[in-house]
């Protein structure tokens, strides 16, 4: 057997990626050896889950094998099977006489062990082995007694595995690499000096300094150069530590964003649970995390990953020395040297202009107090006016008196204010008005539709406004959004504060209020358009606009609508909170209502519950009975799904009383249905069945067919939970037929999956003659079409149970393993349950 080396293992892993059964064999064997859990997790992710980490994986395996003979034996045998001998997935050899492996087709080697004609096979006939003629041989190794002619050796390309819908996408969320980064050699060297510690423990460092000093640019430049060290992704979050409105970002908000980025679909509502889930899912990952604009150590701590291979860099105006107990190192970033400040200026406006006026260039850099933000703002103004002298810019920045310079050197924000004032006064009246108004809305990332709403202009004018402000460095261009394709821009928090202060000083209070209301109404209109595309049956309540929408939403398909909701979820919540704070109560509860498809499809439980708590209070203040009923029922669903069943029961009970008082039978049925579901999830099956039966009767009486079908699904689920699968067959079959007629393909697939499980447990066949296996496979295909990972995992789980019930443990194991692979990134509780089932199955015979 050849020695276990990293290059040999890399080649074996590459070839094994084309043979998933071989990949599973290695994962199983390593699991049996209790090897490094992170390595086993990588392998269990499947051959296409981590293609970029195969070389790293091979290196870790080879290093471990050097001190572990058992591991070396397993790896050597597996690599030989993949590369040289072929064989079945269990490693026991191929079918008699069947060539296999990359070198299949090459002649047997005389004299080799176990080959006829070898010393170990006395009395057998030796096989002549020759390669002649203009042959082309596929395979990395050829063994021959004689080689003649023009032989060409080609290694066949490994066929690319088809992309898996559940394959985890590696997040790359860093801000764009700063284009005109200058200097900072010493600061970068200090950061580089931390890298040898990486891998021994999680690495945490804090870069602090005054506003505008370039902390974010420094860290962004450094992390962009380290991408290869973090194959599992680079995450970014603006913690908004110094925004005047909206406040610092809550750790739960950022945890939800990070968990979704690494593949967790269902995020707990409670921040403590989210933090625990974050630590669990990052235990074996190599991640770089940038936490920008932090306010406090308490804001940072829940966001720290647990893997020794992780790196977290925090930027803050404060030193955050309390993070020292978490093992943090600290770097205080000072202003640019005079020479580097002039170089930055030259990079933005051209070296020739600086050479023509060297003293004025130095004066401009000094007046900007060495702050990159101030220098960049001044340079952008100069770049836009190629005829303006640097001396004139120095004069505009306030003169060169010694006392003035001393004052500037003490306060970075004053220098930025001077540069911003100088740039602002050069804007056209239209652009200046846009700048002021864009500092008012409660959003951190701007796009054309938002700018158009804020400034009451057309969408083209909104895009042009943002582009013009970016040209003079008053906005930062973040590039297009991956989902919507819209351009994205953001203010530095100092620039946003400057714009807002100017608005306060120059705009009438009513004009400022209208600016914010137009943006809030824009989000209400766009969310409502998404609701109409994604959940048309839910879109039944009125919308009240102070400023009716003037433009089309930035999407025209259901997929685009869901992507927009996902991208804008935090701005939608900011709009909802702002509406409530301003007393726009109808808008507040209507925003919560319009976000229903976001909550239903993507399950951000923390936002779901918060939105409906705010919406419920707003509907109560407004005295809107229909709005209150919707907030109670939709919010009850969120509470129930977040595991807060008793609170959900209280909300649904209040909804029942309100609906009866209003004689609203449809709302009453909805509330009864919610009560039944809440008791069902809490395990109170008798109460669940009673409420669901009452809801079904009421829905049938008012002719609400789709609602009746949804209640029948729950009644079937309750019968399954009670161990009465025969009683589940009729309601589930009826629900399936009704939902296909609506049509509602997603819920129709749910009914079909549960029907397949009921058939399996009852040992029955469908009325069509199909067995449980066939029904469940059909449901699996339907969920693949609707894009539901959770229900695909659940259906595979049902298929595993069906196989176990009919006495096929091998098929049961295969289905459970496939279900586990889908559940692991999204639901730790379900993954734990699947691991238990696999353990109970025992080893394969």
User: What is the token pair recorded at 87?
Assistant: 């064989």
Say how far residue 391 (Cα) sits from the centre of its chain: 49
Candidates 267, 367, 371; CA nearest to 610 is: 267
Q: Looking at the predicted structure, is the pLDDT value of residue 109 above 90? A: no
pLDDT on residue 103: 34
Question: pLDDT tens across 5-24, in order?
Answer: 766 666 676 666 655 566 66
Q: Rounded distance, CA 191 to CA 223, Å?
A: 10
Question: pLDDT tens across 134-181, in order?
Answer: 444 444 444 444 444 444 444 333 333 333 333 456 888 898 888 788
Residues belonging to the chain = 845
Q: Looking at the predicted structure, is the pLDDT value of residue 369 above 80? A: no
Q: Rounded distance, CA 62 to CA 326, Å?
A: 33
Q: Looking at the predicted structure, is the pLDDT value of residue 388 above 50? A: yes
Q: Rounded distance, CA 638 to CA 631, Å?
A: 10
pLDDT on residue 125: 41
In order, the DSSP letters of 604-656 are BHHHHHHHHHHHHHHHHHHT-HHHHHHHHHHHHHHHHHTT-HHHHHHHHHHHH
User: In 3-state terms, what secondary structure has residue 446?
Assistant: strand
Of 111 and 261, the one with more pLDDT: 261
Rg of the chain, C-alpha, whole Å: 32
User: In 3-state terms, what secondary structure has residue 739?
Assistant: helix
Q: Rounded distance, CA 809 to CA 764, Å?
A: 20
The residue ranges of DSSP E strands in 222-350, in sequence order, are 234-238, 288-292, 311-316, 329-332
645-681 as b/e: b if 16+ CB within 10 A:
bebbbebbbbbbebbeeeebebbbbbbbbbbbbbbbb
pLDDT band for position 87 (cuts 50, 70, 90): very low
Q: Rounded distance, CA 390 to CA 350, Å?
A: 12
The gap between the terminal CA atoms of the chain, to the nearest Å, is 28
pLDDT on residue 794: 92
Q: Looking at the predicted structure, is the pLDDT value of residue 565 above 80? A: yes
Q: Looking at the predicted structure, is the pLDDT value of residue 498 above 50? A: yes
pLDDT band for position 3 (cuts 50, 70, 90): low
Of 839 and 421, the one with more pLDDT: 839
Q: Looking at the predicted structure, is the pLDDT value of residue 803 above 50? A: yes
Candidates 523, 511, 633, 502; CA nearest to 579 is: 523
Residue 186 φ then ψ, to 5°: -65, -40
Candidates 792, 717, 807; CA nearest to 758 is: 717
H-type alpha helices, 763-827: 772-786, 789-805, 809-823
Of 58-72, 203-217, 426-440, highest mean pLDDT = 426-440
pLDDT on residue 54: 53
Say how far residue 393 (Cα) sits from the centre of its chain: 45
pLDDT on residue 105: 37
- Average predicted confidence (pLDDT) for the chain: 80
CB-hemisphere CA count at 13 Å for 254?
A: 24
Of 776 and 481, the one with more pLDDT: 776
Cis peptide before 743 (omega within 30 of 0): yes
| Residue 365 contacts residue 375 (beta carbons within 8 Å) | yes
Least confident among 435-444, 486-495, 609-618: 486-495
Per-residue pLDDT averaged across 26-33, rounded?
A: 68
Q: Rounded distance, CA 447 to CA 476, Å?
A: 12
Per-residue pLDDT averaged across 409-414, rounded?
A: 45
Question: pLDDT tens across 531-552, in order?
Answer: 999 988 889 999 999 998 888 8
User: What is the token pair recorded at 708?
Assistant: 């009746």
Q: Rounded distance, CA 488 to CA 477, Å?
A: 6
pLDDT band for position 57 (cuts 50, 70, 90): low
Q: Looking at the predicted structure, is the pLDDT value of residue 408 above 50? A: no
H-type alpha helices, 197-332: 215-224, 251-261, 271-281, 297-300
User: In 3-state terms, what secondary structure has residue 57?
Assistant: helix
Q: Rounded distance, CA 592 to CA 609, Å?
A: 10
Structure pTM?
A: 0.60
Q: Rounded distance, CA 146 to CA 127, Å?
A: 12
Q: Looking at the predicted structure, is the pLDDT value of residue 518 above 90? A: yes
Q: Rounded distance, CA 500 to CA 34, Å?
A: 59
User: What is the token pair recorded at 383?
Assistant: 């770049």
pLDDT band for position 350 (cuts 50, 70, 90): confident
Q: Looking at the predicted structure, is the pLDDT value of residue 94 above 50? A: no
pLDDT on residue 50: 44
Strand pairing category for 476-480 and 487-490: antiparallel
207-221 as b/e: b if 16+ CB within 10 A:
bbbbbbbbbbbbbbb
Percent over 70 (pLDDT), the chain: 78
Per-residue pLDDT averaged across 420-433, rounded?
A: 83
| Residue 273 contacts residue 260 (beta carbons within 8 Å) | no
pLDDT on residue 631: 96
Question: pLDDT tens across 282-341, in order?
Answer: 888 899 999 998 988 999 999 999 888 899 999 987 888 889 888 899 988 887 888 898
pLDDT on residue 60: 67
The H or E element spanning position 325 is none
User: What is the token pair recorded at 92?
Assistant: 């026991």
pLDDT band for position 119 (cuts 50, 70, 90): very low
Q: Looking at the predicted structure, is the pLDDT value of residue 706 above 60? A: yes
Q: Rounded distance, CA 666 to CA 670, Å?
A: 6
Q: Count CB atoms within 10 A of the CB of residue 605.
A: 22
Candidates 409, 479, 395, 404; CA nearest to 213 is: 409
- Determine the longest span between alpha carbons in the chain, in angstroms: 106
Per-residue pLDDT averaged across 590-614, rounded?
A: 92
Candidates 599, 555, 643; CA nearest to 265 is: 599
pLDDT on residue 6: 61
Q: Looking at the predicted structure, is the pLDDT value of residue 213 above 90? A: no
């Amino acid at each position: 057997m050849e020695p276990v080396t990293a290059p040999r293992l890399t080649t074996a892993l590459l070839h094994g990626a084309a043979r998933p059964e071989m990949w599973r064999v290695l994962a199983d064997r390593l699991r049996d050896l209790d090897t490094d859990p992170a390595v086993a997790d990588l392998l269990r992710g499947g051959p296409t889950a981590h293609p970029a980490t195969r070389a790293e994986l091979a290196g870790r395996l080879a290093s471990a094998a050097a001190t572990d003979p058992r591991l070396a034996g397993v790896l050597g045998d597996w690599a030989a099977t993949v590369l040289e001998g072929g064989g079945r997935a269990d490693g026991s050899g191929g079918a008699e006489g069947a060539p296999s492996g990359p070198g299949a087709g090459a002649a047997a080697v005389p004299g080799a062990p176990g080959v006829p004609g070898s010393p170990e096979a006395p009395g057998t006939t030796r096989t002549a082995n020759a390669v002649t003629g203009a042959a082309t041989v596929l395979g990395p190794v050829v063994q021959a007694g004689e080689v003649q002619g023009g032989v060409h050796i080609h290694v066949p390309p490994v066929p690319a595995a088809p992309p898996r819908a559940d394959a985890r996408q590696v997040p790359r969320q860093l801000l764009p690499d700063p284009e005109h980064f200058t200097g900072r050699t010493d600061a970068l060297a200090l950061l580089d000096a931390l890298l040898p510690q990486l891998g021994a423990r999680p690495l945490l460092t804090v870069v602090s300094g005054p506003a505008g000093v370039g902390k974010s640019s420094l860290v962004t430049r450094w992390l962009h150069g380290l991408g290869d060290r973090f194959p599992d992704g680079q995450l970014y979050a603006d913690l908004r530590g110094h925004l005047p409105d909206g406040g610092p970002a809550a750790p739960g908000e950022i945890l939800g964003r990070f968990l979704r980025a690494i593949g967790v679909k269902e995020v707990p509502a409670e921040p403590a649970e989210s933090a625990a889930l974050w630590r669990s899912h990052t235990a074996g990952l190599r991640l770089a995390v940038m936490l920008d604009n932090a306010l406090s150590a308490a804001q940072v701590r829940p966001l720290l990953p647990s893997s020794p291979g992780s790196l977290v860099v925090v930027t803050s105006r404060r030193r955050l020395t309390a993070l020292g107990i978490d093992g943090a190192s600290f770097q205080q970033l000072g202003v640019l040297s005079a020479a580097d400040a002039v170089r930055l200026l030259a990079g933005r406006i051209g070296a020739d202009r600086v050479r023509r006026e060297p003293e004025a260039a130095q004066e401009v850099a000094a007046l900007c107090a060495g702050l990159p933000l101030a220098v960049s703002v001044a340079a952008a103004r100069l770049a836009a006016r190629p005829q303006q002298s640097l001396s004139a810019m120095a004069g505009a920045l306030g003169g060169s008196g010694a006392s003035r310079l001393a004052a500037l050197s003490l306060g970075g924000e004053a220098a930025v204010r001077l540069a911003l004032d100088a740039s602002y006064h050069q804007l056209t009246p239209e652009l200046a008005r846009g700048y002021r108004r864009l500092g008012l809305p409660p959003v951190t990332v701007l796009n054309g539709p938002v700018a158009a709403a804020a400034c009451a202009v057309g969408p083209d004018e909104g895009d042009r406004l943002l582009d013009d402000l970016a040209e003079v460095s008053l906005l930062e261009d973040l590039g297009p959004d991956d989902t919507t394709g819209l351009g994205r821009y953001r203010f530095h928090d100092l620039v946003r504060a400057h714009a807002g202060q100017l608005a306060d000083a120059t705009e009438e209070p009513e004009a400022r209020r209208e600016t914010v209301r137009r943006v809030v109404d824009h989000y209400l209109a766009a969310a409502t358009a998404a609701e109409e595309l994604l959940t048309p049956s839910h879109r039944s309540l009125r919308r009240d606009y102070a400023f009716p929408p003037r433009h089309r939403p930035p999407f025209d398909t259901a997929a685009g609508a869901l992507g927009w909701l996902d991208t804008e979820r935090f701005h939608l919540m900011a709009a909802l909170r702002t509406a409530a704070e301003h007393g726009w109560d109808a808008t507040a509860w209507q925003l919560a209502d319009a976000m229903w498809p976001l909550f239903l499809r993507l399950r951000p439980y923390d936002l779901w519950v918060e939105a409906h708590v705010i919406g419920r209070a707003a509907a109560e203040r407004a005295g809107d009975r229909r709005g209150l009923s919707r907030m109670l029922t939709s919010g009850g669903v969120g509470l129930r799904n977040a595991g807060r069943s008793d609170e959900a029961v209280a909300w649904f009970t209040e909804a029942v009383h309100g609906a009866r008082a209003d004689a609203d039978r449809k709302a009453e049925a909805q509330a009864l249905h919610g009560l039944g579901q809440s008791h069902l999830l809490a395990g109170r099956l008798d109460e669940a069945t009673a409420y669901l039966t009452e809801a079904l009767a009421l829905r049938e009486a008012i002719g609400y067919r789709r609602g009746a079908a949804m209640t029948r699904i729950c009644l079937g689920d309750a019968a399954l939970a009670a161990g009465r699968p025969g009683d589940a067959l009729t309601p589930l079959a009826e629900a399936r037929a009704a939902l296909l007629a609506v049509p509602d393909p997603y819920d129709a697939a749910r009914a079909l999956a549960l029907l397949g499980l009921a058939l399996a447990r009852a040992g029955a066949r469908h009325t069509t003659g199909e067995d449980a296996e066939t029904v469940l496979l059909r449901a699996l295909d339907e969920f693949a079409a609707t894009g539901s990972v959770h229900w695909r995992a659940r259906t595979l789980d049902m298929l595993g149970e069906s196989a176990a019930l009919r006495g096929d443990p091998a098929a049961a194991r295969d289905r459970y393993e496939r279900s586990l692979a889908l559940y692991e990134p999204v639901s730790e509780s379900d993954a734990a349950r699947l691991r238990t089932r696999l353990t109970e199955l025992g080893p394969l015979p």
